[in-house]
């Protein structure tokens, strides 16, 4: 068999089985690390070890025989990797392994090897192995391209056999589809059910398979599609049915997104749940408008407030020297501005209201606490919008 036709592809379960690595350099370290990750009974034979291999031995993940290779090192081995950098030694290891009917991978010469390690792209429980006719650089480039497609959910990742159901809470970012994380995109590509909010990046739903269930859980002012208890029940019910459920939210699940409640409900029900953090609109939307929420010499702290909080501590908020960011606050903009001024905040404090941040039609209205409500009315400002109160708001005129 030649390297140009590498033959029979096979995945091995090495857990608890003896795997021998001959060599103490960086190449041997890479081979050993992967075997250790897979739970092999790992033995390293080499007179000296590079630092990563020494760390592996020190951690207890591998045993070390500090000497040159002997044929008896093959005793009990299921698999051998030889990477000494000495062609004669590697050839001897391969010959001994062949005589003992043990598969041997030679790092120095694929054409003389009985086995090959492919370049592997991994994403969750998906592995794609790539061989390229004995050309490792070509295989590595292909692997990297495939890994990117896996990470960004561009390849079909949904399973089609029954399995354990679970929930993934995904922060979709401030609105623009490109601002969701690659891990979030991957979770969507794996989903059987997506429970989606009104302000999530909804354009991503168009990329789902047709049979993926989409449950609307959007919340508009005074108009909730589902109550929070009903959302929790849907997450638990679908996961218990063996489905992969994604709870897709705008921003970050744990920044005024009630993600903590959903996490607690799933754990209480014994459902496995993961969290994929997102880019919060409290930071990203002002940034998209050229407003840094902190700026040297201007603001060293940020306070984020939900406008649905009916009893804010306005005196404390008014005394803060930093930036105040109000989410979901357009409808009560006048009342909030008046409350801050009444609590002692300077009426000349700059304010910026950023509508549809990161989306087409993004628009910023600026003013002060004294006049922002009137300016917003004149311009017909509406939701979704983020309100920024503080000296940094004036930077929109410079940086925006």
What are the structural domain ranges in the chain?
1-117, 118-151, 166-279, 283-399
β strands within 55-204, DSSP E: 62-65, 77-82, 103-106, 119-123, 126-130, 166-171, 193-196
Topology (CATH) of 283-399: 3.30.950
Calculate the alpha carbon distances from 237 to 113, 194, 218, 241, 392 in Å: 52, 13, 19, 6, 46
**Model pLDDT for residues 259-317, shown as the tens digit of each residue:** 999 999 999 999 999 999 999 999 999 999 999 999 999 999 999 998 776 778 999 99
Q: Residue 109: pLDDT band by 50, 70, 90 thresholds?
A: confident
Catalytic residue among 55, 219, 274, 371: 219
Task: Name which of 293, 259, 256 is nearest 274 in CA terms.
Answer: 259
CATH 3.40.1010.10 for domain 166-279: yes
Architecture of the domain spanning 1-117: 3-Layer(aba) Sandwich (3.40)
249 part of the active site:
no
Return the exposure string of 66-94: e unless at least 16 CB atoms fall within 10 Å of the residue's CB, then b. eeebeeebbeebbbbbbbbebeebbebbb
Contact 354, 370 (CB under 8 A): no
- pLDDT over 50 (residue 1): no
**Model pLDDT for residues 204-214, shown as the tens digit of each residue:** 998 888 899 99
219 part of the active site:
yes
Task: Name which of 158, 146, 214 is nearest 189 in CA terms.
Answer: 158
**Model pLDDT for residues 135-167, shown as the tens digit of each residue:** 778 888 888 888 888 887 888 888 888 889 999
Global pTM value:
0.73
State the distance between the two ends of the chain, measured CA to CA, in whole angstroms: 63
Catalytic residue among 90, 151, 197, 252: 197
């Amino acid at each position: 068999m030649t390297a140009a036709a590498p033959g029979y592809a096979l995945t091995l379960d090495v857990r608890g089985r003896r795997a021998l690595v001959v060599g103490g350099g960086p190449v041997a370290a890479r081979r050993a690390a992967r075997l250790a990750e897979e739970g092999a009974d790992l033995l390293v034979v080499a007179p000296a070890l590079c630092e990563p291999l020494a760390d592996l031995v020190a951690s207890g993940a591998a045993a070390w025989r500090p000497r040159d290779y002997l044929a008896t090192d093959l005793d009990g081995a299921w698999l051998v990797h030889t990477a000494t950098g000495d062609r004669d030694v590697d050839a001897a290891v391969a010959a001994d392994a062949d005589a003992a009917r043990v598969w041997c991978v030679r790092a120095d010469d694929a054409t003389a090897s009985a086995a090959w390690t492919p370049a592997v792209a991994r994403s969750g429980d998906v592995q794609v192995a790539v061989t390229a006719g004995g050309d490792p650089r070509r295989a590595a480039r292909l692997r990297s391209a495939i890994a990117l497609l896996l990470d960004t959910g561009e390849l079909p990742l949904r399973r089609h056999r029954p399995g354990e159901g679970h929930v993934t809470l995904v922060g979709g970012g401030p609105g623009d589809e490109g601002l969701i994380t690659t891990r979030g995109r991957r979770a969507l590509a794996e989903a059987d059910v997506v429970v989606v909010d009104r302000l999530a990046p909804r354009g991503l739903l168009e990329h789902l398979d047709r049979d993926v269930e989409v449950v609307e859980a959007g919340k508009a002012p005074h108009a909730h599609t589902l109550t929070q208890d009903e959302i929790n029940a849907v997450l638990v019910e679908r996961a218990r049915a063996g489905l992969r459920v994604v709870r897709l939210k705008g921003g970050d699940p744990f920044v005024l997104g009630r993600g903590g409640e959903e996490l607690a409900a799933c754990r209480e029900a014994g459902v496995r749940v993961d969290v994929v953090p997102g880019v919060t609109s409290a930071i990203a939307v002002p940034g998209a408008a050229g407003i840094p929420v902190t700026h040297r010499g201007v603001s060293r702290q940020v306070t984020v407030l939900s406008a649905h909080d009916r009893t804010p501590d306005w005196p404390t908020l008014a005394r803060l020297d930093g930036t105040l960011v109000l989410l979901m606050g357009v409808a009560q903009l006048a009342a909030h501005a008046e409350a801050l001024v009444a609590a002692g905040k300077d009426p000349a404090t700059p304010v910026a209201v950023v509508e549809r941040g990161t989306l087409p039609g993004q628009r910023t209205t600026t003013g002060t606490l004294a006049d922002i409500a009137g300016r917003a009315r004149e311009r017909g400002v509406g939701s979704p919008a983020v309100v920024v109160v503080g000296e940094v708001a004036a930077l929109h005129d410079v940086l925006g």
